[in-house]
Amino acid sequence: MPRGSALIWQSSLPYHLISPLDGTVSYIALNFDFTYEHFAKNYPIPPDTENDFKPDNVLERVDFIDLPIFNEIVHVNDMEIIESDLLEIENEFESKKRCYGNKASGLFLKVLTEITRRTVYISSFDKGCKIDFIIKYIHSHYNEALSNTKIGELFNFHPNYINHLMVLHTGLSLHQYLLSYRISKAIYLLETTDMQISEIAYTVGFNDICHFSRYFRKRTGRKPQDFKQH
């Protein structure tokens, strides 16, 4: 494994570590509890040697339905991004300051999210970077007339593929994502300015005040007028 590799290893699977030829290697290893059934154990559980291993010693084995990739060994390269979080988890566990379990759990959820994004939701790291640029472009030009075709021309992708990337990474089509972002900006303007509702609608990219009002109510459950008065 090259430096920066990350592994998720299911419990009860035997393994052994082989050092590189120059003998310089370091690992950050964490045992974690997906189900919280053993949260009361506040001490490290060391691995068994091969000769001492007993199946009854395994605390849990989780079968994933929504992310079946985690039922196998997960190996991801170029994961230096999670190193600081893993070290912070270790520090929290050793110091045991108040709420250390909550903080460690939050950090580890972040680690799992990064690994999931690299293994499940993107087919390559480059495409994952591409969607970041697309989303950044939408955030900068949300009040303009945007379409799959226009963004596809800018990023050299087929319009249908733009929509595929948006759904894959955000769960929303480009149109749905754009409308939701415009509404979030409208809410900000309603809360922080004295602008008229019609002016706000046009400012965030809606050409039809009725369309703005209908979609605003659909997203928030309230009319823009009610929201502004509140």
Model pLDDT for residues 23-63, shown as the tens digit of each residue: 777 888 888 877 878 877 767 777 788 888 888 878 888 88
pTM value is 0.60
How far apart are alpha carbons 75 and 7 in whole angstroms? 5
pLDDT value of position 124: 44
First and final C-alpha spacing in the chain: 57
Beta carbons of 215 and 230 less than 8 angstroms apart? no
Beta carbons of 115 and 82 less than 8 angstroms apart? yes
Two tokens, residue 211:
């369309």
pLDDT value of position 129: 64
pLDDT value of position 118: 81
pLDDT value of position 121: 63
pLDDT value of position 143: 94
Two tokens, residue 118:
């690299």
Two tokens, residue 210:
């009725």
Weakly modelled stretches of the chain, pLDDT under 50: 124-126, 128
CATH of region 125-229: 1.10.10.60
pLDDT value of position 149: 93
Q: Tokens 């154990």 correspond to what residue?
A: 41
Domain ranges of the chain: 6-121, 125-229
pLDDT value of position 52: 84
